[in-house]
Amino acid sequence: MKADPAGVLTGSHYLDGDVACGEGAMAAGCRFVAGYPITPSTEVVERIARRFPTLGGTFIQMEDELASMAAVVGAAWTGTKTMTVTSGPGFSLMMENIGLAAMMETPCVVVNVQRGGPSTGLPTMVGQGDVMQARWGSHGDYEVIALCPQSPQEAFDLTIDAFNLAEIYRLPVMFLMDECVGHMTEKVVIPEADAIEVEPRRLTDKSPEEFGPYQINGGQIPEFARAGDGYRFHTTGLTHDERGYPVMNAECHDASVRRLVGKIRDNADSIVRFEEEGMDDAEVVVVSFGITARVARLAVEEARSRGIRVGFLRLVVIWPFPEKRIRELAGSVAAFVVPEINLGQIALEVERVAAGQAVTWPVNHAGGAVHDPDAITEIIVKAAS
């Protein structure tokens, strides 16, 4: 369906990534946000707190991030599109109820504007160290979807995609910004509402008697019933059957967890998204994401001007990881160069998928600044020789 015009601030604006993300959420139809202040993410909820009362939305500042995430999961069961916003320390606290959202199959969006970690780390400065946490942070096996914008424009566009993916796959979608994108101000063009596709909640049309909240009916994703519509359904974070009733045995657990994981892995081809350039003759490929992708592009241009055949692959969706494409490339290129503002997280994935067919060269620093493009160029040169 088309976006509700009330939430869409059509026009050309000069916005930072945080504000653009907030606008993306409102355009996507988000009408409930719970959050707890934390730099460098707070501008997202400040924007929403200002606009929500005119849009029929509710923002509540909760007592902590445990509560914010729990409230977002609760509100999502009313059919409302919901989101919470945080940075590293709060993201750690949210893990408990991100797991609940995964287990209950609750559509929602979790924005993490990454700063330097661990712990309180560098509150006002950039990091990309939460990539693995976004993927593995809550206990047990589950899958997430995570998107990484490289600009305020993408902060707007991809936030809408994050909401749509949450509806389609019924899971918490991670929106992994970083402090640089969050605080960078650029032109953001917000289209007309009827040019924005938004996914509605996929409500069941079964009667309450026929309905089970986790019935699959041959597919992988159950239909949704909202609280208050007479379905009198039950849901739990315990392992459960299709009625949402707890079942404590290995068979049910295996089937449930495999479905939670399978609904993303089996659909990875339609979820994965990346951009690439210069692959035709590439012997080295730079793989990057978020703000680092913009810095890495300079390094790629410099290396090309020096005659090195280097390609560039930017991850837009970071989880699920584009395994198929990296595997193909590994068969034809000599090396991958992976700059990221952490001590090697996506590099591990590239290395795992390349499986020895191509060499992986990480280019790391721990956070607080973006890379010096020369540091990346230097590794590209080494990797090519």
Partner 1 sequence: MTVATKSTTASQELEHPSAPLLRMERIPHVWCPSCGIGTVVKCYATALERSGVDLDKVSVVSGIGCSGRVAGYLKLDGFHTTHGRALPFATGLKLGRPELLVTVISGDGDLVGIGGNHFIHAARRNIDLLVILINNFIYGMTGGQNAPTTPQQARSSTMPYGNFETPFSLPHLAASSGASYVARWTCLHIRRLTWSIEEAIHKRGFRFIEVIAPCPTLYARLNKLGTGLDAMRFYHDTAVIRNDADTRELDISFQSEITCGKFVDEERPTFLDLMHNHYSDQLGDRYVPTPPEGGMLHEQ
Residue nearer to partner 1 on the CB measure, 159 or 292: 159
Residue nearer to partner 1 on the CB measure, 182 or 212: 212
Tell me the closest approach of the beta carbon of residue 161 to partner 1, in angstroms: 16
| DSSP class per residue in 113-139 | EEEE-STT-EEEEE--TTHHHHHH-SS
Residue nearer to partner 1 on the CB measure, 233 or 336: 233
Would residue 206 be called left, alpha or beta, if left means φ above 0 and alpha means ψ between -120 and 50 degrees? beta
Residues with Cβ within 8 Å of residue 66, at least 6 apart in sequence: 93, 94, 96, 97
Tell me the closest approach of the beta carbon of residue 123 to partner 1, in angstroms: 22
Tell me the closest approach of the beta carbon of residue 32 to partner 1, in angstroms: 5
Beta strands 145-147 and 317-319 are antiparallel
Mutual angle of helices 373-384 and 290-305, in 10-degree steps: 60
Give the pair of three-digit tokens for residue 349.
């994935």
Burial of residue 96 (number of CB atoms within 10 Å: 0-12, 13-18, 19+): middle
* Residue reference for tokens 């209950």: 104
Tell me the closest approach of the beta carbon of residue 30 to partner 1, in angstroms: 9
Distance (Å, whole) CA 295 – CA 310: 15
Tell me the closest approach of the beta carbon of residue 198 to partner 1, in angstroms: 7
Distance (Å, whole) CA 86 – CA 44: 9
> Which residues here bind partner 1, judged by CB under 8 A?
1-2, 4, 6, 29, 31-32, 34, 53-58, 60, 62-64, 66-68, 70-82, 96-97, 99-100, 198, 200-201, 226-238, 245-246
Residue nearer to partner 1 on the CB measure, 81 or 325: 81
What are 60's strand-pairing partners? Answer: 34
Contact call for residues 65 and 84 (beta carbons, < 8 A): yes
Tell me the closest approach of the beta carbon of residue 261 to partner 1, in angstroms: 21
Tell me the closest approach of the beta carbon of residue 207 to partner 1, in angstroms: 13
What are 285's strand-pairing partners? Answer: 311, 336
The total of other beta-carbon atoms located within 10 Å of residue 163's CB is: 26
Residue nearer to partner 1 on the CB measure, 101 or 384: 101
Residue nearer to partner 1 on the CB measure, 104 or 272: 104
Distance (Å, whole) CA 160 – CA 271: 14
Tell me the closest approach of the beta carbon of residue 223 to partner 1, in angstroms: 15
Tell me the closest approach of the beta carbon of residue 65 to partner 1, in angstroms: 10
Residue nearer to partner 1 on the CB measure, 26 or 329: 26
Residue nearer to partner 1 on the CB measure, 236 or 332: 236
Q: Which of these, 330, 351, 354, lies nearest to 282 by C-alpha position? A: 330
| DSSP class per residue in 164-209 | HHHHHHTSEEEEEEEHHHHH-EEEEEE--GGG-B-PPP-B--S-TT
What are 335's strand-pairing partners? Answer: 284, 359
Residue nearer to partner 1 on the CB measure, 77 or 175: 77
Distance (Å, whole) CA 384 – CA 234: 58
* Residue reference for tokens 């200002």: 50
Residue nearer to partner 1 on the CB measure, 11 or 56: 56
Q: Is 47 helix (H, G, I), strand (E, B) or coil?
A: helix
